[in-house]
Copies of this chain bind each other. A is one copy, B any other.
Amino acid sequence: MSTTLFTTDPRTGAHSDTGIEQTADDAVDAIVEVAVGAAERLEQRDRAWRADLLDTLADMLEERRDLLVSTAAAETGLSSGRLNGELTRTTFQFRLFAEAVREGGYLEVAIDRAAETPMGPQPDVRRILVPTGPVGVFGSSNFPFAFSVPGGDTASALAAGNPVIAKAHSAHPMTSRASYDALREGVERADGPSGTISIVYGQAAGSRLVAHPGLAAVGFTGSLGAAEKLREIVHRRQRPIPFYGELQSVNPLIITEEALRARGEVIAAGLAASVTGSAGQLCTKPGIAFVPSGERADAFAAQLVTAMSEAAAGVLLNDRVLASFQAAERELEEADSVESLLGASAASADADGGFVVEARVLRVHASRVTVDHTVEAFGPLVLLVEYDTTDQLLGALVAVPDSLTTTLHVEEGDLPMVARILPQITPRAGRLVFNGYPTGVRVSWAQHHGGPWPATNSLHTSVGVTAMRRFLRPLAWQNTPVSLLPKELRDDYRGIPRRVDGVLEMAETRS
Chain B residues positioned under 8 Å from A112 (CB to CB): 442, 444-447
Chain B residues positioned under 8 Å from A418 (CB to CB): 484
Q: Is A392 an interface residue (CB 8 A)?
A: no
CB proximity of A82 to chain B, nearest CB, Å: 12
A242 touches B433 (CB 8 A): no
Number of interface residues of A (CB under 8 A): 83
Chain B residues positioned under 8 Å from A133 (CB to CB): 427
A430 touches B474 (CB 8 A): yes
State the CA gap A473–B470 with chains docked (Å).
13
State the CA gap A426–B478 with chains docked (Å).
13
Q: Is A212 an interface residue (CB 8 A)?
A: no
Closest to A114 in B: B442
State the CA gap A444–B117 with chains docked (Å).
10
A415 touches B242 (CB 8 A): no
State the CA gap A497–B443 with chains docked (Å).
22
State the CA gap A346–B434 with chains docked (Å).
67
Given B431, B473, B476, which contacts A475 in the complex, CB threshold below 8 Å? B431
Residue among A419, A422, A447 facing the most chain B CB atoms (10 A cut-off): A447
Residue among A242, A475, A497, A501 facing the most chain B CB atoms (10 A cut-off): A475
**17 residue pairs A–B, Cβ–Cβ below 8 Å:** A92-B118, A112-B445, A117-B444, A125-B431, A127-B448, A127-B464, A133-B427, A231-B235, A415-B481, A415-B483, A419-B484, A430-B473, A432-B475, A432-B477, A434-B479, A442-B478, A450-B474
Residue among A434, A466, A506 facing the most chain B CB atoms (10 A cut-off): A434
State the CA gap A410–B484 with chains docked (Å).
11
CB proximity of A468 to chain B, nearest CB, Å: 12
State the CA gap A162–B187 with chains docked (Å).
44
Among A443-462, those with CB < 8 Å from B are 443-448, 450, 452-454, 457-460
State the CA gap A458–B477 with chains docked (Å).
19
CB proximity of A230 to chain B, nearest CB, Å: 12
State the CA gap A452–B117 with chains docked (Å).
29
Chain B residues positioned under 8 Å from A483 (CB to CB): 415, 419
A426 touches B108 (CB 8 A): no
B431 touches A478 (CB 8 A): yes
Q: Is A43 an interface residue (CB 8 A)?
A: yes
Q: Is A435 an interface residue (CB 8 A)?
A: yes
CB proximity of A338 to chain B, nearest CB, Å: 26
A119 touches B88 (CB 8 A): yes
A459 touches B472 (CB 8 A): yes
CB proximity of A44 to chain B, nearest CB, Å: 7
CB proximity of A3 to chain B, nearest CB, Å: 33
A473/B499 contact (C-beta < 8 A), A433-B478, A479-B436 known = no
Q: Is A270 an interface residue (CB 8 A)?
A: no
Residue among A130, A448, A454 facing the most chain B CB atoms (10 A cut-off): A448
State the CA gap A111–B464 with chains docked (Å).
12
Chain B residues positioned under 8 Å from A119 (CB to CB): 85, 88-89, 92, 442-443
Q: Is A423 an interface residue (CB 8 A)?
A: yes
Among A325-358, those with CB < 8 Å from B are none
Q: Is A55 an interface residue (CB 8 A)?
A: no
Q: Is A504 an interface residue (CB 8 A)?
A: yes
A481 touches B410 (CB 8 A): yes
Q: Is A319 an interface residue (CB 8 A)?
A: no
A422 touches B484 (CB 8 A): yes
CB proximity of A110 to chain B, nearest CB, Å: 4
CB proximity of A120 to chain B, nearest CB, Å: 8
CB proximity of A466 to chain B, nearest CB, Å: 7
Q: Is A18 an interface residue (CB 8 A)?
A: no
Given B105, B111, B427, B475, which contacts A448 in the complex, CB threshold below 8 Å? B475
A447 touches B435 (CB 8 A): no
Q: Is A240 an interface residue (CB 8 A)?
A: yes
Q: Is A185 an interface residue (CB 8 A)?
A: no
Q: Is A103 an interface residue (CB 8 A)?
A: yes
Known: A88-B119, A497-B504. 8 other contacts (CB 8 A): A44-B423, A92-B117, A111-B446, A112-B445, A415-B483, A429-B475, A432-B475, A450-B474
Q: Is A99 an interface residue (CB 8 A)?
A: yes
State the CA gap A192–B446 with chains docked (Å).
32
Chain B residues positioned under 8 Å from A445 (CB to CB): 110, 112, 499, 501-502
State the CA gap A409–B430 with chains docked (Å).
47
